[in-house]
Chain A
């Protein structure tokens, strides 16, 4: 089963917060991370990884259905770099 917000909220609940407080705290944390990235700032978590905001330049693309050339606009995306420590732990060493 995939890890979801429910499981994380439950662990926060175990710290002694009510169910509602736990949900609010986890939502607040998620909101902080999202608005940070939204403002173009990276989020760096040592031992886990780095969420980076990257600007992609505009590029020439093609409509796969019609084969027409078209220009794809530049966009901004979020990428993730796993820390070496996490990568090693995933690989079991």
Chain B
């Protein structure tokens, strides 16, 4: 499912207009992105939480050539699945 499909599903299930649904979806992902850019944590009960992890500089290797490369310090968002989502995703397996 992509963003457009998310918007039309929200439009249908919430009985709101397409442009309203588009705004809501935009607000949702924009505020998450902005929080991560600020280095802020995100906690959406039942779905997931995110925090930004700081990685120090390290010597990595180009997997193709085996060459050593210095990796600069970086930040990456770290995702943790919420309890409800984890249980629901897993239950259909059996």
Residues of A within 8 A of B (CB): 1-5, 7-8, 11-12, 15, 24-26, 28-49, 53, 55, 74-80, 82, 86-87, 89-91
Contact = CB atoms under 8 A, between A and B. Distances in A.
A54 to B, nearest CB: 10
Nearest to B43: A2
Contact of B1 (A4, A31, A41): A41
Nearest to B3: A45
B40 A82 contact: no
A41 B89 CA distance: 10
Nearest to B73: A91
B45 A5 contact: yes
Interface string B67-90: 000000011110101001110111
Interface string B17-59: 0001001110111011101110011111111111010000000
Given A2-B42, A40-B89, 13 more contacts: A8-B28, A8-B31, A24-B14, A28-B10, A34-B84, A34-B88, A37-B85, A48-B32, A74-B93, A77-B90, A80-B79, A82-B77, A90-B52
B2 interface: yes
A12 B75 contact: no
A12 B84 CA distance: 24
